[in-house]
Amino acid sequence: MKFSIRNVIPERVKTGCLVLGVFRGSAKSGLPDFPEATRRVDQAAAGRLRKLATAGDLSGRKSSTLVLHGVTGVSATRVLLVGLGARAEFTENAYRESLRAAAAATKDLGATDAVVCIPDGELAESTSRKLAWRVRHAVFMLGDAFYRFEGLKSRNAAHPWKLQELTIGLSSRPDSATQKAFDAAVATLGGVSLARTLGNLPANVCTPTYLADEARKLARQFKIGIEVLERRDMEKLGMGALLAVTRGTAEPPKLIVLKYQGGSKDARPVVLIGKGITFDTGGISLKPSAEMDEMKFDMSGAASVLGAVRALAAMKATVNVIGLIPACENMPSGTAIKPGDIVKSMSGQTVEILNTDAEGRLILCDALTYCERFNPDIVVDVATLTGACVIALGHVASGLFSNHQPLANEIMGAADEAWDRVWQLPLWEDYQDGLRSNFADMANVGGRPAGSITAACYLARFTRKLRWAHLDIAGTAWKSGREKGSTGRPVPLLVQLALARADRR
Ligand code: BES
Ligand code: MN
Ligand code: ZN
């Protein structure tokens, strides 16, 4: 999809499809409530929309749509009216859903381009989202609707929609903040798409080697520095925890290091670490077979780091970012680690692996130690770490943990702006008790209670020298069921976080 943004006169813009919003009228008057662009079009069309509303055919009900052809007085071939619901309830979610509805409705049309005017109208008074926010989320939602995972069905259907170009139509020329938000959103969308595709690819395609090759491609395309550490490098570094996880598989492990230098040479980098388990069987602590296929998404953290780095490089963000991805498979076999095995992490701390299915923290702890050499300003790791996080927060918020409250606050701010939301959970020392081991410095699992927190507490033992935050994206990285597929989260959040730092300079 090609995106653009410009100043348009709604009734005069030449397009295959003009997309306008309609608020639900008040119950008392029953009259429709039109945003400015819609009001102008109604006026140019001699009150045609108003008549439709009076006749009861244009309710403005949330996500309802109506297509009109040949509206006299209007240059667009079609007018697509999208119900926005009540004006007072037109908050962030309603706004975003209205764009999803608009995108869905255009899919059945013959139009090859559309001009969408919904972002030009205000949200409910109770929210205070600027035009830049509305534009950003219009790009995200429209882009999301037109994402396709292609290439693995043998009968590739012809493109299921005709639309190729989407323009965000504004009543005045976009100011620099709006233009910047638009450009950043388009670049972010590219990163989201990359993350989704990597997540959706099956584990027999998307191996650690494949991830490393994708990272190399990125590096070449955007002139980013790259280094890929192999098993022998990990051995030299003493990454006993990472090496323990990869023992059970024939697939070679990789530690991918991407170095994007958009900021000044001496600026300390933002380090993003992504869990890259390309398939998690659980190992000898084997998972039940139901829905085990979804463990191909266990590299979603890695995918989001690749996506974020791609987005930031594409928009030439003035910030230094290091993407660090420990990647391997977690398989049971004759060479696999066993419950009770004790290994030495790169930090020197020993770990009793009581459950081989708690592998994410094992590969992350060595990556966290490794990243100290980059003298990071902040470190954020992103991981599909615990099923417990899905139980705690469902599929709405990612779990946030941090040893540095200003960083947690910064992340919560970026998450709100990106509408890629997080919820902070405690990292209190009290929870460390669960990781006690009789035989090593720590165990890799606590009990069932507060599973996400004890996982974060484990990581905290490797980040004492860092300003660090951990995002548990187990509930947010993909959807199950009929809509099964990667969401690309938290790419928008990571990009926003890094961008806010670029602006701060
Ligand atoms: N990748 C899983 C976490 C997961 C499970 C994410 C289900 C999304 C859905 C992780 O490696 C894992 O297996 N965690 C265990 C930890 C436990 C053994 C302490 C879990 O959550 O059950
Ligand atoms: Mn696991
Ligand atoms: Zn896992």
Same domain, 78 and 224: no
Give the contacts of 396 (CB within 8 A, at least 6 positions apart): 421, 475, 476
- Which residues are marked as active site? 287, 361
Dihedral sign for Cα atoms in the order 479, 388, 207, 458: positive
Same domain, 217 and 353: yes
Same domain, 210 and 357: yes
Same domain, 116 and 249: no
d(CA 249, CA 301): 20
Q: If DSSP states are collapsed to H, E and C, what string results for 226-239?
A: EEEECHHHHHHHCC
For residue 85, give the H/E element and its range: strand 78-85
Determine the length of the chain.
Answer: 505
Same domain, 354 and 484: yes
Whole-number Å distance, alpha carbon 484 to ligand 1 midpoint, is 18
Q: Which two tokens stand for residue 466?
A: 């860092």
Ligand 1 cavity residues, CB under 6 Å: 280, 298, 355, 357-360, 384-388, 390, 445, 451, 474
Dihedral sign for Cα atoms in the order 466, 469, 473, 477: negative
pLDDT value of position 32: 77
Find the domain containing 167 and state its range.
2-173
103-149 pLDDT, tens digit per residue, is: 999 999 999 999 999 999 999 999 989 999 999 999 999 999 999 99
Axis-axis angle for helices 176-200, 208-222 (nearest 10): 150
3-state secondary structure (DSSP) of residue 97: helix
Atom of ligand 1 nearest to the CA of 446: 19
d(CA 321, CA 260): 5
Whole-number Å distance, alpha carbon 480 to ligand 1 midpoint, is 15
The enclosing domain of 411 has a CATH number of: 3.40.630.10
d(CA 105, CA 412): 33
d(CA 357, CA 470): 19
Same domain, 163 and 42: yes
Same domain, 140 and 265: no
d(CA 168, CA 141): 12
Whole-number Å distance, alpha carbon 387 to ligand 1 midpoint, is 5
Q: Of 107, 141, 173, which closes a domain?
A: 173
Q: Please state the pTM of the whole predicted model.
A: 0.98
Q: Which two tokens stand for residue 280?
A: 């998690």
The enclosing domain of 137 has a CATH number of: 3.40.220.10
Residue carrying structure tokens 């509206």: 71
pLDDT value of position 158: 65
3-state secondary structure (DSSP) of residue 220: helix
pLDDT value of position 505: 62
Atom of ligand 1 nearest to the CA of 384: 6
Task: Name the residues around ion ligand 2, CB cutoff 5 A.
Answer: 280, 357, 359
Residue 181 is assigned to a structural domain of this protein: no
Which residues is 81 bridged to in the sheet?
20, 66
In this structure, which residue's CA is closest to atom 13 in ligand 1? Answer: 357
Low-confidence residues in the chain, pLDDT < 50: none
Q: Which two tokens stand for residue 86?
A: 């009540």
Q: How many domains does the chain have?
A: 2
Same domain, 334 and 413: yes
Same domain, 349 and 410: yes
Residue of 317, 215, 227 lying closest to 264 (CA atoms): 317
Same domain, 159 and 40: yes
Cβ 355 vs Cβ 287: under 8 Å: no
Same domain, 460 and 335: yes
d(CA 453, CA 75): 58
